[in-house]
Structure 1
Amino acid sequence: MKSTNRQEKLFQWFVGIILTIGGILMLIPFFWMVLSSLKHESELMKLPLTIFPSSPTLENFTKLFENMNFAVYLKNTLIIVFFSFIGLFLNAAAGFGFAKYDFKGRDSLFYIVLATMMIPGQVTMIPVYLILNMMNLTNTMIGIVLPGLVGAFGIFLFRQFMSTIPNELLEATRLDGASEFRLFVQIILPLTKPILAVQGILTFIAGWNSFLWPLIIANDEKLYTLSVGLSLLKGQYGGNYALQMAGSAFMIIPVIIIFIIFQKHIIENYTISGMK
């Protein structure tokens, strides 16, 4: 028995060491990017290479906003993220409708929504572009935001979670005189915090990293996002690696911070999903 426990502990230590080494190796490029963004271009290109900057500077980040209009790109990205969160609550409302309202054709309509998950987004880009072009919404912020407001995966996730909420709780709330909107906001949404947290993180990451659709629908640089701006940075300043590192760090650091803050909600959601 003692031999078995000892072997298990040794195995756990071995796995822990391997995972730690693997984690460090994966973090090396990230730390190199952040440290390089704080260097002058001359220091970055100097041989032998140095890990830590001899005289840290924020000059590269300043140039992003002075020379590359990153303030405009940041504003557009934040607008997309904001409306993506509005779409998050629309997904929750649709999931609530499929889960708790019995109407004709509900199951068939839900299966149609699920079927759209099998269609790659690249396939629908041209039809959606043509529709928006007919509505004169191309090269507008509305045209960028509108197609991504709702998604089948979000509706499915909310519907599956909300189906487990007892109907008796909802009926008791209705008997107290609560409206359907108040029922949704004050009862349903607080009960779906784990799903809201996970979907919120995914929504933020998708909005923050939006690249292909804004690039297709907009031909005005004033509507470009940070990801598109980073691509332009690579083309215009291809030889300025310190500036490119600063742009990459500016894109990645907020996502990492958000993930670190809310990672426990992701684990809780997977735990809840496994129990169900």
Structure 2
Amino acid sequence: MQKEALSKSFIYLLLIIGSILMLLPFVWMISTSLKQPNEVMIMPPKWIPSDIQWSNYIEAWFSAPFAIYTVNSVIVLIASTIGELITTILAAYAFSRIHFYGREIIFSVLLGTMMVPGEVLLIPNFVTLSNLGWIDQYQALIVPWLASIFSIFLLRQFFFSIPKELSFAAKIDGCSDFRFLWSVMVPLAKPALITIAILKAIGSWNAFLWPLIVTSSENMRTLPVGLISFSTDTGTKYELLMAASSMIILPMIILFIVLQKYIIEGVARAGIKG
């Protein structure tokens, strides 16, 4: 009994240390966002500002057209999330419930594409979008991210956990595959779909490299790309950069905290059967 208690205490200690290490960058970001410029780079580092500068947040917001960046980020997030959910639902149902020749081979090939680094695809994708005339338009920010192999895999595993007897009963009652999918499978897969939507929303909101490449005007830039405004030839305004970063990251932190139980449930149930 004592050995078990010591084991649990050691595990909890490791978890606490890990949590502190993960929180430190966020604490430093918030601390820096409230500092005066002369306190940002002093050594040894100063964790608590001598004079809290809430005005850094106001100055950061008006230092660049962040209202436009926010609108662009919201549009891209909503469109890409809805699009990915639709393609994921249809593909996952096909690979889990519809039997067709070469299903497993095709799915294995799709899974294999996950091993290809995203950086390798930047140039081919850019050339393709350039030929279509989509550079510096919403299409370039949305269309390439309307499907995700990982999301299809996750939802496919979840669909496998749903008893096949439901499908047989629905077909006896004359229910088509399409109606069964949207009336039965989708409501039952709510935890997995919420998980996919949250992961997609966070990824879309924080995307930097691709929006930087395919946008050239301020009217099309998203929030992460807008942070470049604080880095100039004369240096970087770290206090304003951290203030803007804090504002950008806050919505995703709130979203994750509110819906984290669905992420845990969705991932856990997706691993029941495969």
TM-score (structure 2 length as normaliser):
0.86
Task: Describe the shift of the 1:111–1:203 C-alpha distance in structure 2 as closer, same or farther (beyond 3 A).
Answer: same
Matched residue, 1:17? 13
Residue 136 of structure 1 aligns with an amino acid whose one-letter code is G
Deviations 1:99-136 (A, max 9, x none): 11223443333233223222222222222222222211
1: CA distance, partners of 2:188 / 2:234: 49
1:150, distance to aligned residue in structure 2 (A): 0.3
Counterpart CA distance in 1 for 2:74 and 2:171 is 37
SS at match of 1:75: helix
The letter of the residue matching 1:248 is S
Measured in 2, the distance between the counterparts of 1:78 and 1:216 equals: 19
After superposition, give the CA deviation of every residue in 1:27-50 in whole Å (9 maximum; x if it has no partner): 233123223323444565789946
5 Å matches for 1:218-229? 218-229=215-226
- Superimposed CA distance per residue, residues 36-94 of structure 1 (whole angstroms, 9 cap, x where no aligned partner): 3234445657899461564452x222223322111111111111211221112211211
Paired residues of 2:61 and 2:244 also in contact (CA < 8 A) = no
Distance of aligned partners of 1:100 and 1:274 in 2 relative to their CA distance in 1, 3 Å threshold: closer
Counterpart residue number, 2:149: 152
Farther off after superposition, 230-239 or 94-103? 230-239
Deviations 1:216-254 (A, max 9, x none): 112122111111111332337844221011022123222
Residues 245 and 178 of structure 1: CA distance in aligned 2, closer, same or farther (over 3 Å): same
Matches for 1:1-276 after TM superposition, within 5 Å: 5-41=1-37, 49=46, 51=48, 54-55=51-52, 57=54, 59-86=55-82, 87-235=84-232, 238-276=235-273
Structure 1 Cα separation of the partners of residues 136 and 211 of structure 2: 9
TM-superposed CA distance for 1:207, in Å, is 0.2
Counterparts of 1:111 and 1:222 in 2: how far apart (Å)?
40
When the two chains are superposed, the root-mean-square deviation of aligned CA atoms in Å is 2.6
- Partners of 2:221 and 2:69 lie apart in 1 by 6
How big is each residue's C-alpha offset from its partner over 1:133-153, in whole Å with a ceiling of 9 and x where there is no partner?
221112211112111100211
Q: Percent identity?
A: 39
Alpha-carbon distance in 2 for matches of 1:127, 1:50: 45
Work out the CA distance in 1 between the residues paired with 2:164 and 2:36: 62
Give the number of aligned pairs.
271
Alpha-carbon distance between aligned partners in 2 of 1:83 and 1:236, rounded to the nearest angstrom: 35
Partner secondary structure for residue 139 of structure 1: coil
2:89 partner letter: A
